[in-house]
Structure 1
């Protein structure tokens, strides 16, 4: 491996951090022992900025490139999500009835034959239960895309990066 930049993050297929590297697991490091790295990261990922700072925590996360809508250090997303009515796409359901329509001018709770206006008088028949029942369980669904777990490591020692 070539000499890394200080603070550079690399992927590894092994489950430990080699010498001069640390796991990107959100651990706190003392500033007095990691002053150069602190000068690059500051408290972007947490810490009190007086005695400690935090490394990025990439466990179970997908890294996203910096952009105006995604400032460095921002964490977001959710593992599970429960849909609300406002998130459902517009759609319709067909009505089902318990009695087959056979009259142009029905009485009770029947629908008229096709082409006739539908109306209802005092109910004497009930709609089929499926026509008025709730559907869905109201439970959360997982937002996980297909994945392969690896480890993210951050260089604790390396070439100090300079802009341009």
Structure 2
């Protein structure tokens, strides 16, 4: 499975480009986070420096929750919406959870039973990444404070 990080996706109901909500994550075409945003690189920050962002996301993504907190690490990750997946046997995913692997070893147990004997090993690790285009995910440190029902 492609590496992923669970987030909560929302749709803005008004405004063309509304003021960002503190804790909102946007994908940007910049190589650096603009003012009022932090890169989603798993960094650990002092609560005193970004107290509003900490109040919105807490220590969900790391830090000690007393003097430090972390932001999501979306490097090499695909964001996934929180909640119950749609596939059979899917389980509920919680905000902040991650999973998947960048590489996997194909094993005979992964192949359908009707496959003919291959006579060679399949255990070599291979790439498990879907085609990608690199951009910067950033999280808003300033803007409108989210309502309690969202946090």
TM-score by length of 2: 0.76
2:69 and 2:107 mapped to 1: Cα distance?
Answer: 38
- Which residue of 1 is the match for residue 112 of structure 2? 89
Give the strand-richer structure, 1 or 2.
2
Q: 1:144 aligns with which of 92, 108, 129?
A: 129
Counterpart CA distance in 1 for 2:122 and 2:106 is 10
The CA deviation at 1:39 is 1.4
Distance of aligned partners of 1:20 and 1:86 in 2 relative to their CA distance in 1, 3 Å threshold: same
Task: For residue 54 of structure 2, give the secondary structure of its aligned residue in structure 1.
Answer: helix
Structure 1: runs of 5 or more not aligned: 95-132
Q: Which residue pairs with 2:57 in the alignment?
A: 41
User: 1:111-137 deviations in whole A, cap 9, x for unaligned?
Assistant: xxxxxxxxxxxxxxxxxxxxxx83135
Instruction: For structure 2, list consecutive stretches of 5 or more residues without a partner in the other structure.
Output: 1-16, 85-91
Matched, 1:157 2:142: yes
**Cα RMSD for the two superposed structures:** 1.9
If asked which structure has higher relative contact order (CA below 8 Å, sep 6+), I would say 2
Q: For the pair shown, which has the larger CA radius of gyration, 1 or 2?
A: 1
Deviation at 1:159, TM superposition (A): 0.5
Instruction: Give the TM-score, by structure 1 length.
Output: 0.70
Residue in structure 2 matching 1:59, options 47, 55, 75: 75
Counterparts of 1:138 and 1:62 in 2: how far apart (Å)? 25
Report the alpha carbon displacement of residue 18 of structure 1 after superposing the two structures with TM: 1.0
Aligned-residue offset at 1:85 = 2.8
Q: 1:135 aligns with which of 120, 130, 145?
A: 120
